[in-house]
Amino acid sequence: MSDALFISATGMHAQQTQVDTIANNLANLNTTAFRKSRVAFEPLMPVAMQGGNALGLEGADSYKGMGATVSAVIPDFSAGELKQTQRDLDLAIDGRGFFEVQLPDGSLAYSRQGALRVDRDGTLVTASGLPLSARISVPGDAQSLVIEADGRVRAKFEGSDDLSEVGFLEIAQFVSERNLKPMGDSLYLATPESGDASYGRPGENGAGKLAQGYLESSNVQMVEEMTSLMVAQRAYEANSKVLMAADEMLGIVNNLRR
């Protein structure tokens, strides 16, 4: 009965993490370029029974699990839908890859959020004010920007039909995207598990192309998340009932003799 208390408690804790993760996904249903997360579960150390020992399963006739735990919360980098905005400084990646931005402390982060603007210094930055690592400077007298699918950034000036190149955007890719560390605001940090970023021209070596005048929507699917939420809630309830049943059985044992 004490095992039942422990196992059901681990199940409730794991399912609470699942519910919290799904709730965060749903809250960001309309967040540009948001990437949903999923919870990976794993069993806690199983204990060998009849014919085995508690340290290993070799030679055991059977074994019992000792509950479940959350091994990781993994971001899902499947593509979201591209939505046309008709705004010159809106940019989406059609395929794999990330924009590289510089954080206030000088370190680098990665995002697929492409709502850009020009700051007071004429630098191309994200909506939250983080400069792209390419450090593209837009002349103050530029009338408009043209960002090609291959990453070339060109400006148009008044009185001229010619376009002048002002910079170039590269796409950052990782060997293992799923091991990037989320830090909020659709930003991710590289980790030893994800590997270092590799850079390339958009549209080459597996990198996506750039789409000017588009933004990528969230990859959250409401029906899928609502279904997963109901399953997680029922699993939490089932574990809580096991906990209550074990508690009632212990109460009966304690009352057998007074």
Distance CA 226, CA 231 (A): 9
Query: Residue 97: which of 193, 202, 168, 212 has the closest Cα?
Result: 202
User: Bridge-partner residues for 189, per DSSP?
Assistant: 181
Residue 108 tokens read as 């680098």
What pLDDT, on a 0 to 100 scale, did the predictor assign at position 69? Answer: 87
> In DSSP terms, which residues pair with 245 in a beta bridge?
none
Instruction: Please name every residue paired with 14 in a beta bridge, in sequence order, or none if there are none.
Output: none
Taken in order 126, 130, 135, 139, the sign of the CA dihedral is positive
Residue ranges of alpha helices (H) inside 54-160 are: none
**Which DSSP category does 217 fall into?**
P
Predicted pLDDT at 200? 92
Ranges of residues in the chain with a pLDDT under 50 are 52, 54-55
Q: How far is 117 from 101, CA to CA, in rounded Å?
A: 13
The Cβ of residue 244 has, within 10 Å, a number of other Cβ atoms equal to 11
Which residues, other chains included, contact 224 with Cβ-Cβ below 8 Å and sequence gap of 6+?
A: none
- The whole-angstrom separation of Cα 110 and Cα 103 is 10
- HSE-CB at 12 with a 13 A cutoff on CA atoms is 14
- What's the pLDDT at 113? 92
- C-alpha angle with apex 19: 109 to 83, nearest 5 degrees? 50
Say how many C-beta atoms besides its own lie within 10 A of residue 15's C-beta: 24
Tokens of 246: 């074990």
C-alpha–C-alpha distance, residues 250 and 258, integer Å: 14
Q: Is the pTM of this model over 0.95?
A: no
Tokens describing residue 205: 């070596």
Around 1, how many Cα atoms within 13 Å sit in the side-chain half-sphere? 11
Q: What is the pLDDT of residue 248?
A: 86
Q: What is the DSSP letter of 46?
A: -
Residue 78 in contact with residue 100, Cβ under 8 Å? Answer: no
